[in-house]
């Protein structure tokens, strides 16, 4: 869709600042979520994860230009992430769902 | 690391099948691979999370306001480096050097913060050997710190090169690849900050 | 040779042959370096296997002590995997891939040299452990906490293993990055992904596997290193550490690793069978997708090496299912290969013999793999000789056989000569029969309960008879490999007069002379289909001629003799830096090993420091050195 | 030329025929460790699953691929001088689908009974059943067996009751081992910091061979054990005996001298106890009792040092020459070698006394 776009067709500092503002807001909200952990209860973890994903995507899409760059690059990075995350999830299941308790030393 | 450096060859008119430069393609591929590196470190941290049989425990040590600031410092460095890139693209060498130096300083500030954090923890009794928290925490954040350190050295070299005409607007692609690495180190910290520091037990 | 000399002169260099090999960045030369290094290691690691076989020939033998046996066994496994199978594959990546995609070199020629030197130095570092009397002895997968605690593995043996593997891992990752970029970015015009030769496809998939699998090993090895050097608790049960974590880390790497080893040979089979059957690969897209499916699935089956660890019935059942699923795409490949031969006009030259035997042997090793995947059966088979039989059938039967086939197949592109066919036939038959004689009885002793990694066994177990057979087989197998060496020596004494296209080949490497000139292609070809060269010779699917005599004589892509480089061709410059950086890296690893010893301990960190210094300045030098000749210089020469 | 190609064709038949023949002729089995000779329910279930369906489906796949390959080789070999280009068939989607589906079906035929068996083999009969519960602890390089219900501990020989399920809780004190009695059951790893269970029911009385199956250091090959499957009465008698302290040697005998040495200057008692009783409440599975194996009623064991036949001669050798008999073993490293360095090795007479003492512990 974007084709082999050269690195030059990118937005400028205005966008970078906007992204920075969003990143800062997300970070503040993250820390607030942490601070209100007791009120949020079981919601804390998903909220934190959501904010982290938002920040992650902002940096990758804008600062790292993936949004404007060749789709192949998105594919490569996404596959790396996908495999890493799936293995991570499988491990979490192995240790926290199916794992028998380890002996306490 | 070494591979990344190798990417920095001299600018050549290269024709590629995809239109993506070799260096850029390699850096993204390397980053995909690095996802598995940090992924493995992080899941080991998680598998052991809470299996801490001796003090000190994370809740007694972690200083969230402090770390929030250093996380913000690293985020800011992502911003400054993208500004440096834009300056380079616009052949504004002065702006480029300024933003780049800013990035280096922010990175150094982050590392200094991490050094301070490590020594504080150490004085409170957390060592590599004290318990599994010490082991997994220091190794995970330490490997991240090493990535930052390599990034700083790399940026520093490029900053110096710019004074000798070895880094010019003609080398924008090469510098772009460096910024990819730098941002990646930042996003890894986004994840670590969330999982290690903020995630409730 | 003439071109090489010319090229050097042009670049203002006059170097001896030795220096030329040490500084080469030419993929063809690097391929040859890879090739001979790994063949020597095959002989050495095979020699270790023969030592083991002597010890196991009869019950209660007293040839190798328990410790020595474990060292020999560990080094056999580790070196066969990391210093034979992987680099032998890398040899053919280098020899064939750029030629098959119509490229003049790889994307990062110096990085390519760096991969080779890191492989060489890393493997030498590991071999050197024998000289210091402390070879690694915890098996090729070095299970923690046997490997991670100095309490249970004193001495630097495991440090050699750990740090040697780190260096080899860096070499592999660098190589994979290089070939990934090369294949994605340097294909000849017209070579879309679906027109890419299947071998190139498999190399691409393998590169992805390496990139995503090795980091897990790297992390695990770091953890073992920290446990051994800094008393961390990763695998220390006394502080709650769980040694099983290492098994996960290792097999998340280790299982994809076995497909890293086998996918390129599968690609080689997919090239050889069509060439010698005069038929295109049957269902090539299926074969390609099967390769991708195998690669993808291979990340989610790792726990099939851990069925007896006690992960619980649900994970065991799930991992069994995912493992068995790999049999389906592998079956697709096997059946497509058989269908490729079916109806063909098959010329059983040496490469074809090896390749078709490999297909059959893949079935032999694959079906026992499915037995291991059947969890209850694995409760009995795990860590028995049944496993040893399984993986030698695939590792020797498919990987080594296919790579031997590739040797006969691509030898003209390496040396401009054809290996002797008669000796090739002898080599094949001896190898094929002896490998079955060696590895088939392992199934029997395995089912009879013989565990692997036993340095001896008592007579009452009744394992003696078959073990003697195995040992005899192993010796025949070892001797058979000497036939190959004889063949090479004999062939190298003859003039280099192999034709460009000795097998009536189908892909681009056969369009250029044997051996190819330094710049490979004087004119970059344009590709019109998967069997790019075949189509040019005999027409595409619709207007095929029916007889080879009706071959259309497309001119072989000859260089312009006597005039040096064709206009506009830039060749990468030889460089010392790759080797220097590898040496620095290896010095860092060696320093770390020294740090762990009593006598050299204080020298350790200084050596690490020096190594790091060399790496840093090596990279700077690398950075500053022009990758190719300066444009003006070049221009001047061309307009001469 | 013609001659070579005929020979080529025929030669295929030898390895294939040979392999089929040998595998068909019962070259396995009848050995002390053979998995094809089950004497316990787990081993039996596994072997049955191996034969039907796995083995027969494997034979089907084998024949399919082998016959097809042979047909290819024989029918489509190029004749000398043949320049014909065969029809360029690029594929056939229907065939592709067929040979994607057929293996899938075969695999399902294996996976279904296999999955059922996985769950069956892992089923713990429950606390209230009459199952015998034993703790199995791996050490470099010997096996310790504790019976928490009876408060007794032994090494080397695992006593169980025929037709009565046993539930083993398996762990390790040092590195990873794997507990494997091939004729009775599959193997289960013994992992420090974890405990695994193995459940099986022995179906024949007798003494069954077992061994360690995970590389655990130099003497991995010498880490055997025996499973003594006996009737309930014999087992009860064995338990009753082990709940009593060992007999004291009569004063003045050689054995009494041996006892003195054992407890005194020879330094055996530092690592070995001769009291078969222990307190399960204070010593859970991951707490060590003693460095060395418990030696109570030692002469009744089948193995010595986890691999030798337990004869007085071997025992003598073991004590006099530990380093030669089993190098790298803890006793060799931490006792024999140290004494050798200090020139404090036992004299032959002393060894005789100790052997007499140990032999008296019946
Ligand atoms: C490069 C080598 C390679 C390859 C390709 C494979 C392929 C397979 N392997 Fe193997 N394996 C190893 C190398 C390899 N393995 C090694 C080295 C070890 C030991 C590691 C160690 O412990 O040291 C090992 C161990 C190993 C284990 C662990 C055993 C244990 O330790 O307990 C298992 C368990 O599931 C397994 C399974 C499989 C399966 C299902 C395949 C499948 O991919 C096979 C698929 C192929 C076929 C099935 C044949 C062709 C298909 C057909 C003709 C279609 C019809 C067939 C059917 C329907 C069955 N392997
Ligand atoms: C590429 C992989 C590869 C290859 C090709 C081989 C090849 C061979 N292997 Fe290997 N093997 C492994 C990978 C491989 N192996 C692995 C990964 C293990 C597991 C290790 C572990 O448990 O950790 C293993 C384990 C293993 C064992 C089990 C050891 C044990 O568990 O105790 C045995 C036992 O027989 C064995 C035998 C052989 C034999 C006889 C060959 C033969 O094919 C070798 C034939 C011989 C030659 C090709 C050499 C010819 C040499 C000469 C003629 C002499 C020349 C002399 C000099 C150079 C001085 N291997
Ligand atoms: Cu214990 Cu092997
Ligand atoms: Cu596997």
Three state DSSP letters for D83-115? CECCCCCCCCHHHHHHHHHHHHHHHHHHHHHHH
Distance C459 CA to ligand 3 centre (A): 20
CB contact under 8 A, B8 and C623: yes
Q: Which atom of ligand 1 is nearest to the CA of C258?
A: 1
CATH number, domain with residue D239: 2.60.40.420
pLDDT at C629 (0 to 100): 54
Q: What's the CATH number for C2-575+625-639?
A: 1.20.210.10
- Tell me which ligand sits closest to the C-alpha of residue C252: 4
Test site for ligand 1: of C143, C205, C258, most ligand atoms within 8 A of the Cβ: C258
Q: In order along chain C (640 residues), what is the average pLDDT of each group of 10 residues?
A: 49 69 93 97 96 96 93 97 97 96 92 97 96 94 94 93 97 97 94 95 97 96 96 92 95 96 97 95 95 95 95 94 96 96 94 97 96 96 96 96 97 95 96 96 94 95 93 96 96 92 93 89 87 86 74 64 62 90 96 91 93 94 74 39
* Residue contacts between A and B (CB atoms, under 8 Å): 139
Residue C512's alpha-carbon distances to B69, C103, C134, C263, C554, in angstroms, are: 61, 12, 49, 26, 11
Closest of C481, C596, C453, C367 to residue C73, by C-alpha: C453
Where does a domain end: D192, D212, D243?
D243
Q: Which of C216, C226, C627 sits opposite B36 (nearest CB)?
A: C216
How many domains does chain D contain in total? 2
Distance C312 CA to ligand 1 centre (A): 21
Closest of B35, C40, C297 to residue A85, by C-alpha: B35
pTM above 0.90, yes or no: yes
CA separation for the pair A84, A66 (Å, rounded): 19
Q: Which atom of ligand 1 is nearest to the CA of C77?
A: 23
In a domain, D233, yes or no: yes
Q: Within 6 Å (CB) of ligand 1, which residues are found? A: C 141, 258, 261-262, 304-305, 307, 323, 326-327, 330-331, 334, 362-363, 366-367, 369-370, 372-373, 378, 381-382, 387, 390-391, 394-395, 399; D 61, 65, 103, 106-107
Strand, helix or coil at D17? Answer: helix
- Same-domain pairing of D106 and D221: yes
CA separation for the pair C249, C213 (Å, rounded): 10
- Same-domain pairing of D102 and D170: yes
In a domain, D339, yes or no: yes
CA separation for the pair A26, C465 (Å, rounded): 71
Residue D361's alpha-carbon distances to C170, C632, D152, D300, in angstroms, are: 60, 95, 16, 9
Strand, helix or coil at D178? Answer: strand
pLDDT at C242 (0 to 100): 93
Chain C interface includes A105 (CB < 8 A): yes
In a domain, D19, yes or no: no
Strand, helix or coil at B109? Answer: helix
* Residue B4: pLDDT band with limits 50, 70, 90: very low
CA separation for the pair A49, A59 (Å, rounded): 15
Closest of D347, D305, D352, D298 to residue D328, by C-alpha: D305
Which of the 8 DSSP states describes residue D243?
A: T
Our separate counts of H helices and E strands in chain D read 11, 12
* Radius of gyration of chain A, Cα coordinates, nearest whole angstrom: 19
In a domain, D50, yes or no: yes
CB D296 within 8 A of CB D246: yes
Place of tokens 């969330």: B194
CA separation for the pair C57, C59 (Å, rounded): 7
Which residues on B lie below 8 Å from A80 (Cβ)? Answer: 31-36
Place of tokens 């995909």: B32
Closest of A77, C223, A43 to residue B187, by C-alpha: A77
In a domain, D175, yes or no: yes
Domain boundaries, chain C: 2-575+625-639
CA separation for the pair A82, A89 (Å, rounded): 10
Domain boundaries, chain A: 16-97
Measured in angstroms, the CA of C159 and the nearest CA of chain B are apart by 19
| Region of C484 on the Ramachandran plot (φ > 0 left; ψ -120 to 50 alpha; else beta) | alpha
Peptide bond connecting B56 to the previous residue in cis, omega within 30 degrees of 0: yes
| Region of D155 on the Ramachandran plot (φ > 0 left; ψ -120 to 50 alpha; else beta) | beta
Q: Is C506 noted as a catalytic residue in this protein?
A: no
Chain D interface includes C339 (CB < 8 A): yes
pLDDT at D224 (0 to 100): 96
Which of the 8 DSSP states describes residue C346?
A: B
- Reading the block at residue C107, the tokens are 């994307």
CA separation for the pair C240, C508 (Å, rounded): 58
Q: Is C305 noted as a catalytic residue in this protein?
A: yes
Q: Which atom of ligand 3 is nearest to the CA of D221?
A: 2
Chain C interface includes A91 (CB < 8 A): yes
CB contact under 8 A, A94 and C310: no
CB D326 within 8 A of CB D305: yes
CA separation for the pair A23, A35 (Å, rounded): 18
pLDDT at D19 (0 to 100): 63
* Radius of gyration of chain C, Cα coordinates, nearest whole angstrom: 25
CA separation for the pair B117, B131 (Å, rounded): 17
| Structural domains of chain B in order of their starting residue, each with its CATH number | 21-198 (1.20.120.80)
| Chain center to CA of C270 | 17
Average pLDDT over residues D248-275: 93
Which of the 8 DSSP states describes residue B171?
A: G
In a domain, D8, yes or no: no
Whether A102 has a pLDDT exceeding 90, the answer reads no
- Reading the block at residue B16, the tokens are 């590629």
In a domain, D9, yes or no: no
Whether D18 has a pLDDT exceeding 80, the answer reads no
Whether D276 has a pLDDT exceeding 80, the answer reads yes
Closest of C454, B129, C304, C156 to residue C147, by C-alpha: C156
pLDDT at C15 (0 to 100): 63
- Tell me which ligand sits closest to the C-alpha of residue D219: 3
Residue D341's domain spans which residues? 254-359
Q: Is C551 noted as a catalytic residue in this protein?
A: no
CA separation for the pair D101, D96 (Å, rounded): 9
Place of tokens 């860590």: C383
- Same-domain pairing of D288 and D347: yes
Strand, helix or coil at B144? Answer: helix
Distance C303 CA to ligand 4 centre (A): 8
- Same-domain pairing of D32 and D150: yes
| Chain center to CA of D57 | 28
Distance C54 CA to ligand 2 centre (A): 12
Residue-averaged pLDDT of chain D: 91
**C24, C172, C471, C507: which one is catalytic?**
C172
Burial of D82 (0-12, 13-18, 19+ CB in 10 A): middle
CA angle centred on C455, ends C450 and C458, rounded to 5°: 60
pLDDT at C545 (0 to 100): 79
Average pLDDT over residues B30-58: 91
Does the complex come out with an ipTM higher than 0.95?
no
CB contact under 8 A, A105 and C311: no
CB B186 within 8 A of CB B81: no
The sign of the torsion formed by the CA atoms of B145, B146, B149, B155 equals negative
CB C343 within 8 A of CB D89: yes
pLDDT at C562 (0 to 100): 46
pLDDT at D330 (0 to 100): 95
Measured in angstroms, the CA of B173 and the nearest CA of chain C are apart by 15
Spell out which chain A residues touch chain D, with contact meaning CB-CB distance below 8 angstroms. Answer: 100, 102-103, 105
* Residue B7: pLDDT band with limits 50, 70, 90: very low
- Tell me which ligand sits closest to the C-alpha of residue D187: 1
* Residue contacts between A and D (CB atoms, under 8 Å): 12
Average pLDDT over residues D285-303: 93
């Amino acid at each position: 869709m974007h084709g082999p776009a050269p690195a030059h067709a990118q937005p400028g500092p205005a966008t970078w600042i906007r992204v920075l503002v969003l990143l800062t807001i997300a970070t503040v909200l993250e820390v607030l979520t942490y601070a209100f952990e007791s009120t949020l209860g079981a919601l804390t973890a998903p909220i934190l994860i959501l904010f982290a994903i938002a920040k992650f995507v902002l940096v990758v899409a804008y600062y790292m230009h993936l949004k404007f760059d060749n789709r192949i690059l998105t594919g490569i990075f996404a596959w790396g992430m996908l495999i890493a995350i799936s293995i991570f999830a499988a491990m979490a299941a192995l240790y926290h769902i199916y794992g028998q308790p380890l002996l306490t030393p | 690391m070494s591979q990344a450096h190798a990417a920095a060859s001299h600018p050549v008119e290269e024709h590629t099948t995809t239109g993506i430069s070799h260096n850029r393609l390699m850096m993204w591929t390397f980053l995909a691979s690095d996802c598995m590196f940090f992924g493995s470190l992080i899941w080991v941290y998680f598998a052991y999370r809470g299996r801490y049989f001796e003090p000190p425990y994370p809740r007694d040590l972690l200083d969230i306001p402090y770390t929030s600031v250093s996380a913000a410092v690293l985020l800011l460095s992502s911003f400054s480096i993208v500004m440096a890139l834009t300056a380079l693209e616009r052949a504004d060498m002065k702006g480029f050097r300024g933003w780049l130096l800013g990035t280096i300083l922010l990175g150094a500030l982050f590392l200094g913060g991490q050094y301070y954090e490590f020594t504080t923890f150490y004085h409170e009794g957390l060592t590599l050997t004290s318990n599994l928290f010490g082991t997994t925490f220091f190794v995970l954040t330490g490997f991240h710190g090493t990535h930052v350190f390599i990034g700083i050295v790399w940026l520093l070299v490029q900053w110096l090169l710019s004074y000798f005409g070895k880094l010019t607007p003609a080398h924008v692609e090469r510098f772009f690849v460096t910024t990819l690495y730098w941002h990646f180190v930042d996003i890894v910290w986004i994840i670590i900050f969330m999982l290690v520091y903020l995630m409730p037990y | 040779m003439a071109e090489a000399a010319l090229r050097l002169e042009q670049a203002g260099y006059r170097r001896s042959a030795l220096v030329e090999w040490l500084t080469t960045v030419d993929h063809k030369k690097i391929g040859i370096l890879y090739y001979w290094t790994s063949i020597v290691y095959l002989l050495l690691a095979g020699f270790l296997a023969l030592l083991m076989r002597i010890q196991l020939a009869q019950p209660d033998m007293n040839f190798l002590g328990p410790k020595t046996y474990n060292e020999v066994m560990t080094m056999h496994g580790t070196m066969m995997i990391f210093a034979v199978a992987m680099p032998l594959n890398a040899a053919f990546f280098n020899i064939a891939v750029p030629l098959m995609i119509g490229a003049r070199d790889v994307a990062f020629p110096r990085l390519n040299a760096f991969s080779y030197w890191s492989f060489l130095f890393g493997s030498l570092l590991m071999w050197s452990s024998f000289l210091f009397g402390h070879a690694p002895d915890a098996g090729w997968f070095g299970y923690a906490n046997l490997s991670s605690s100095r309490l249970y593995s004193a001495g630097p043996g495991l440090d050699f293993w750990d740090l040697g593997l780190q260096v080899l891992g860096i070499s592999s990752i660098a190589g994979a990055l290089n070939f990934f970029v090369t294949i994605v970015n340097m294909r000849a015009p017209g070579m879309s992904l679906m027109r890419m030769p299947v071998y190139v496809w498999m190399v691409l998939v393998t590169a992805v596997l390496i990139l995503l699998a090795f980091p897990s090993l790297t992390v695990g090895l770091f953890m073992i290193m920290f446990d051994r050097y800094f008393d961390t608790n990763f695998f220390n049960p006394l502080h709650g550490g769980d040694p099983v974590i290492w098994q996960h880390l290792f097999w998340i790497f280790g299982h994809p690793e076995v497909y890293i080893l086998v996918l390129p040979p599968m690609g080689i089979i997919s090239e050889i069978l069509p060439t010698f059957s005069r038929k295109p690969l049957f269902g090539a897209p299926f074969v390609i997708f099967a390769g991708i499916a195998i690669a993808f699935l291979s990340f989610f089956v790792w726990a099939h090496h851990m069925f007896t660890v006690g992960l619980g019935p649900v994970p065991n059942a799930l991992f069994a299912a995912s493992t068995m699923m790999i049999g389906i795409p592998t079956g697709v490949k096997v059946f497509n290969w058989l269908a490729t031969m079916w109806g063909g006009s098959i010329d059983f030259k040496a490469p074809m013999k090896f390749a078709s035997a490999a297909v059959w042997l893949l079935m032999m090793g694959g079906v026992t793999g499915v037995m291991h995947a059947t969890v209850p059966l694995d409760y009995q088979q795990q860590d028995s000789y049944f496993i040893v039989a399984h993986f030698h059938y695939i590792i020797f039967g498919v990987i080594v056989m296919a790579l031997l086939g590739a040797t006969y197949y691509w030898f003209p592109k390496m040396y401009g000569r054809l290996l002797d066919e008669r000796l090739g036939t002898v080599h094949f038959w001896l190898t094929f029969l002896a490998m079955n004689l060696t590895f088939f009885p392992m199934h029997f002793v395995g089912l009879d309960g013989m565990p692997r990694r036993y340095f001896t066994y008592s007579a009452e177990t009744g394992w003696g008879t078959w073990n003697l057979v195995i040992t005899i087989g192993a010796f025949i197998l070892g001797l058979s490999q000497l036939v190959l060496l004889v063949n090479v020596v004999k062939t190298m004494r003859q003039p280099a007069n192999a034709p460009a296209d000795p097998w009536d080949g189908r892909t681009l490497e056969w369009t250029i002379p044997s051996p190819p000139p330094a710049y490979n292609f004087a004119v970059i070809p344009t590709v019109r289909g998967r069997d790019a060269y075949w189509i040019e010779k005999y027409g595409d699917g619709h207007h095929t001629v029916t007889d080879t005599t009706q071959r259309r004589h497309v001119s072989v892509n000859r260089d312009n003799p006597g005039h040096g480089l064709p206009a506009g061709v830039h060749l990468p410059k030889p460089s010392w830096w790759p080797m220097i950086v590898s040496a620095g890296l290896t010095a860092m690893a060696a320093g770390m090993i020294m740090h762990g010893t009593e006598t050299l301990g204080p020298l350790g960190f200084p050596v690490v420091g020096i190594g790091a210094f060399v790496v840093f300045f090596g990279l700077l030098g690398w950075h500053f050195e022009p990758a190719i000749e300066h444009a003006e210089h070049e221009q001047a020469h061309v307009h001469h | 030329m013609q001659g070579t190609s005929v020979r080529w064709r025929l030669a295929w038949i030898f390895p294939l025929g040979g392999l089929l023949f040998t595998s068909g002729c019962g070259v396995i089995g009848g050995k002390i460790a053979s998995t094809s000779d089950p004497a316990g329910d787990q081993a039996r279930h596994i072997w049955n699953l191996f034969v039907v369906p796995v083995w027969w489906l494997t034979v089907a796949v084998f024949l399919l691929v082998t016959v097809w390959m042979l047909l290819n080789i024989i029918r489509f070999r190029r004749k000398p001088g043949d320049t014909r280009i065969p029809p360029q068939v690029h594929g056939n989607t229907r065939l592709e689908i067929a040979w994607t589906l057929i293996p899938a079906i075969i695999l399902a035929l294996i996976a279904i009974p296999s999955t059922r068996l996985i769950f069956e083999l892992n089923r713990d009969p429950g606390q209230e059943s009459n199952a015998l519960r034993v703790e199995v602890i791996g050490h470099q390089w010997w096996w310790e067996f504790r019976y928490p219900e009876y408060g007794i501990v032994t090494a080397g020989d695992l006593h169980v009751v025929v037709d009565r399920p046993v539930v083993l809780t398996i762990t390790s004190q040092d590195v990873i081992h794997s507990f494997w009695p091939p004729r009775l059951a599959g193997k289960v790893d013994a992992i420090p910091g974890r405990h695994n269970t193995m459940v099986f029911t022995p179906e024949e009385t007798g003494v069954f061979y077992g061994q360690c199956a995970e590389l655990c250091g130099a003497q991995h090959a010498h880490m055997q054990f025996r499973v003594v499957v006996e009737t309930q009465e014999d087992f009860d008698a064995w338990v009753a005996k082990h709940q009593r302290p060992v007999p004291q040697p009569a004063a003045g005998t050689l054995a009494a001298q041996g006892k003195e040495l054992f407890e005194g200057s020879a330094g055996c008692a530092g690592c070995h106890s001769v009291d078969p009783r222990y307190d399960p409440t204070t010593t859970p599975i991951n707490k060590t009792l003693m460095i060395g194996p418990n030696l109570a009623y030692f002469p009744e064991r089948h193995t010595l040092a986890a691999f030798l036949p337990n004869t007085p001669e071997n025992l003598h050798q073991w004590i006099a020459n530990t380093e030669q008999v089993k190098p790298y073993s803890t006793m060799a490293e931490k006792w024999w070698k140290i004494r050798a360095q200090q020139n404090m090795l036992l004299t032959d007479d002393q060894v005789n006394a100790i052997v007499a003492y140990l032999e008296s512990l019946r």
